[in-house]
Amino acid sequence: SKKSNSMFILTMIMGTMITMSSNNWVSMWMGLELNMMSFIPLIKGKEKMTSEASMIYFLTQSISSMLLLFSMIGCAGGKEMQLFISLGCIMLLIKLGSAPFHMWFPEIMSKMKWNSCILLMTWQKLAPLMMINNMSSNMKIMNIAVIMSTIVGAIGGLNQTSLRKIMSYSSINHLGWMLSINKMQNNWMIYWVIYSVLNTTICLMFNNYNMYFINQINSLSMSSAEKITCSISMLSIGGLPPFTGFLPKWMVIQILINDNMYTLIMVMVMTSLITLFYYMRTMTSMMMMNSNTSMMTMKSNNNLNFLSLTINLSLPLIMVLNMK
């Protein structure tokens, strides 16, 4: 019911807040557990698939939480400190669904409703990213995670027809970008906020049109304005200038250039082009279809279209204002 859902959302937010505002590892761990236990009922729906998704989520998260606790105990013991810190870092990468520990992420995404997908791709990343930010983690592990996440996120989405899987691989790719600047103060937070807003508007559009697979796009009746809005949103989250999605990527590239990490930038930019390809493939079938020969008509949501356009075109507007 709606009442219980709002209660679970509240405790989920509270769990993340506890993790983010804690100054010791045990209360951070406690916040993660509270967050996990609140999110599981939000996954669960009437369909059988959702119970499978909640089970996979529970097992993955509880195993990583357990190992995270072990690494905390190891660090408290003081022996082999660096080993336990590295183990803790790997456990947080499992929680995030970062490659090479990403297998569970697209799998449960394809079994959930869009609303749960939005939460999993945005809010659920916040607490583990904050914990990695607080760690003196091994940079080799982080760099491997960044390279693998960007590559897996790009290549994994190429052969998918499920929009939820495409969005999940895109999320893994963006996670790589967030992890690459995780050590730089709170710049990753700016990336996370912009990505979350763009991602939410796209997923709400898919939810509004009840779209789950690429071939469903051809049977929709959409006005030209709606098609343009969807296309701009897709290009924006792909990071194409001059849309808003380019802003965080620009910021990351600038930070990494200052750190002389040219190889990493090359890998990230090249894989970003591959993600753009599968966004454009989704978009092209939408633009090519004829509005008159539609099989089913969908209710138009003008507020959502207006909001999406405003968000995605805000970067060019800011740049024009700054030029003056």
Quote the pLDDT of residue 324.
53
Count of other CB atoms within 10 angstroms of residue 175: 28
- Where in the chain are the domains? 2-323
What is residue 261's DSSP assignment? -
Three-state DSSP state, 162 = strand
Q: How far apart are CA 121 and CA 128, in angstroms?
A: 13
The amino acid at 315: L
Question: Would you say 195 and 233 are in contact if contact means Cβ atoms under 8 Å apart?
Answer: no
Question: Would you say 233 and 243 are in contact if contact means Cβ atoms under 8 Å apart?
Answer: no
Only one residue has tokens 């809005």, namely: 229
262, burial (CB in 10 Å: exposed 0-12, middle 13-18, buried 19+):
exposed
Question: Would you say 35 and 15 are in contact if contact means Cβ atoms under 8 Å apart?
Answer: yes
Three-state DSSP state, 291 = coil
- The number of CA neighbours under 13 Å toward the Cβ of 206 is 27
Q: How far apart are CA 221 and CA 238, in angstroms?
A: 25
Quote the pLDDT of residue 116.
94
10-residue stretch averages of pLDDT, the chain, 324 residues long: 84 96 92 95 87 94 92 77 85 92 94 94 95 81 94 94 94 95 83 94 90 82 81 91 90 92 94 93 78 50 83 77 63
Residue 238: both structure tokens together: 């792909």
Quote the pLDDT of residue 72.
85
* pLDDT tens sequence across 175-227: 999 999 987 767 899 999 999 999 999 999 899 888 899 888 777 777 778 88
Query: Which value, in Å, is the radius of gyration of the alpha carbons in the chain?
Result: 20
Question: Would you say 112 and 171 are in contact if contact means Cβ atoms under 8 Å apart?
Answer: no
Widest pairwise Cα distance in the chain: 70
Nearest to 177 by CA among 267, 86, 312: 267
pTM: 0.92
Q: How far apart are CA 220 and CA 230, in angstroms?
A: 13
* pLDDT tens sequence across 17-29: 999 999 988 999 9
Q: How far apart are CA 323 and CA 209, in angstroms?
A: 38
- SS (HEC) of 65-125: HHHHHHHHHHHHHCCCHHHHHHHHHHHHHHHHCCCCCCCHHHHHHCCCCHHHHHHHHCHHH
Angle at 173 between CA 171 and CA 174, to 5 degrees: 65
Q: How far apart are CA 64 and CA 243, in angstroms?
A: 37
Which CA distances in Å does 84 have to 48, 55, 138, 149?
39, 28, 11, 23
